[in-house]
Amino acid sequence: MLNCKEACKLLSQGQDRELTRGERWQLRLHLPFCPSCRRYHAQLAFIRKQVGQWQRESENNRHEVENRLP
Ligand SMILES: [Zn+2]
């Protein structure tokens, strides 16, 4: 069984790479019993969403500035 430190490590690695079947399975066994890791997972997902949004917004702003140029 995964401990919290290992689970957190896998969760953050899962942001950068595809986890193996075994790793995903281990997380699936750990998360339902561990509120703190679930919270960490939710925070990661939230941050990822925010970063994606900021990138899209700054991209939009760039287009707007370019359109305003003569
Ligand atoms: Zn945990």
The DSSP output letter for 3 is: -
Q: How far is the CA of 70 from the centre of ligand 1 (A)?
A: 56
Q: How far is the CA of 36 from the centre of ligand 1 (A)?
A: 6
Sign (positive/negative) of CA torsion 40, 45, 48, 49? negative
Give yes or no for a contact between 11 and 39, defined as CB atoms under 8 angstroms apart.
Answer: no
pLDDT digits over 52-65, tens only?
999 999 999 998 88
The answer on pLDDT for 70 being more than 90 is no
Mean residue pLDDT of the chain comes to: 94
Per-domain boundaries in the chain: 4-67
Output the six-digit token pair for 25.
């399975």
The answer to whether the pTM exceeds 0.75 is no
Q: How far is the CA of 11 from the centre of ligand 1 (A)?
A: 10
